[in-house]
Amino acid sequence: MAAHLYKKEDDLKYKENLKKKILKLKKEKHAVIIVHNYQRDEVQDIADISGDSLALSQAAVNADAKVIVFCGVDFMAESASILNPDKIVLLPVKEAGCPMADMVTVERLREKKKEHPGAAIVCYVNSSATIKAESDICCTSSNAIQIAQSLKDYKEVIFVPDKNLGRYVQQHVPDKKIILWEGFCPTHIRVSKEEVLKTKEAHPEAEVLAHPECNPDVLSVSDHICSTGGMFSYVKSSKSKEFIIATESGMLYRLRKDNPDKKFYVPTERLICPTMKLTTLGWVAHSLEAMEQEIKISGDIRDKAYKALERMLKVSGERPEASLAGY
């Protein structure tokens, strides 16, 4: 008997069966599925809520759900737990971490604070709950400038962990000294200025949209610098028909889906976040079925981290659910 040869149709059937299983489990468990824009295409397809740092879970806090399945990375699930202490938060793959978030530790941050005792600590939400708990206020990529400007009583700001976002803030807030942390996003720094210019040469009518986590020389040749949520809004309202997207390539799926009349290009194929791609339909189904990989932030850490998030929300006028992720 001839061996069964793998076909693409088999993979599609397998994924469709998993989607049906997840839908069934979601109803049984009274769950909501939150998916970041950098996730695999098929995982984005099962989202109840999808988006970026500010929009990611606009319905999560008030959602009529007992369980939040967070298809993203660990700091996002931690923030979801901080903001939803009475709900079960599941991260389908426990290894889905953020390398940049791991570049700052409580011990080193406390040492830096001793060196600059009069400085405020501004924490990019792409950080662990323990770092948020050590911070005066949080920020996202879209409100970082506004947050820094709001600190009227401080001349110095320790900005953790992303140095590129910190540099971007410094350019727009010259009256403060932004003390940079040597952290960075391993994905965003992969794109070079030369690659952006080469792509622009191939598509001269295209606008360049870059995330502020990119290196400064990339930002210098970009037409618009914004968060992923900002990119969606800009593309939707822009009269341009072509765009070069300098952020994680998972963005292209929804951009193309929501804007079928427009074209999108990436300056390099290396714009892939490995940990964002760890989550698969299989892991989502397993997590829901077994109710495994729960993320729970409680006690003093939760209380202090919540205060840092809450201060940010008061300044920016955003809803609590706006702070679940930072991209």
Residues 29 and 89 in one domain: yes
The pLDDT value recorded for residue 281 is: 97
Distance CA 125, CA 116 (A): 21
Residues 234 and 177 in one domain: no
The CA-to-CA distance between both ends of the chain, in Å, stands at 52
Residues 204 and 178 in one domain: no
Residues 285 and 228 in one domain: no
Domain for residue 270, yes or no?
no
pTM of the model: 0.90
Domain for residue 230, yes or no?
yes
Residues 52 and 116 in one domain: no
Q: Which residue in 191, 275, 253, 222 sits closest to 51, CA to CA?
A: 253
Q: Which residue in 307, 315, 318, 314 sits closest to 83, CA to CA?
A: 307
Neighbours of 225 (CB within 10 A): 19
Half-sphere exposure of residue 185: CA atoms within 13 angstroms, side-chain side: 29
In DSSP terms, 51 is beta-bridged to 36
Domain for residue 2, yes or no?
no
Domain for residue 272, yes or no?
no
Q: Which residue in 223, 258, 257 sits closest to 243, CA to CA?
A: 223
Residues 21 and 38 in one domain: yes
Torsion-angle region of 250 (φ positive above 0: left; ψ -120 to 50: alpha; else: beta): alpha
Query: What stretches of the chain show up as alpha helix (H) in DSSP?
Result: 8-29, 41-44, 74-83, 106-115, 129-134, 144-150, 163-172, 193-202, 216-219, 228-237, 251-258, 281-290, 299-316
Distance CA 321, CA 62 (A): 9
Torsion-angle region of 138 (φ positive above 0: left; ψ -120 to 50: alpha; else: beta): beta
The pLDDT value recorded for residue 91 is: 97
* CATH value at residue 226: 3.40.50.10800
> Contact, 103 vs 288, CB < 8 A?
no
> Contact, 101 vs 126, CB < 8 A?
yes
Nearest-5° Cα angle at 176, 174 to 179: 110
Residues 107 and 243 in one domain: no
Domain for residue 35, yes or no?
yes
Domain enclosing residue 304, as ranges: 101-186+298-323
Q: Which residue in 191, 179, 200, 182 sits closest to 268, CA to CA?
A: 191
The two most distant CA atoms of the chain are separated, in Å, by 78
The pLDDT value recorded for residue 198 is: 98
Distance CA 17, CA 12 (A): 9
Which structure tokens are listed for 89? 């938060």
The pLDDT value recorded for residue 58 is: 43
Residues 148 and 199 in one domain: no
pLDDT in tens, the chain (327 residues): 445 555 667 788 999 999 999 999 999 999 999 999 999 999 999 999 887 654 564 446 667 799 999 999 999 999 889 988 999 999 999 999 999 999 999 999 999 999 999 999 999 999 999 999 999 999 989 899 999 999 999 999 999 999 999 999 999 999 999 999 999 999 999 999 999 999 999 999 999 999 999 999 999 999 999 999 899 999 999 999 999 999 999 999 999 999 999 999 999 999 999 999 999 999 999 999 999 999 999 899 999 999 998 899 889 775 544 445 456
- Count structural domains, the chain: 3
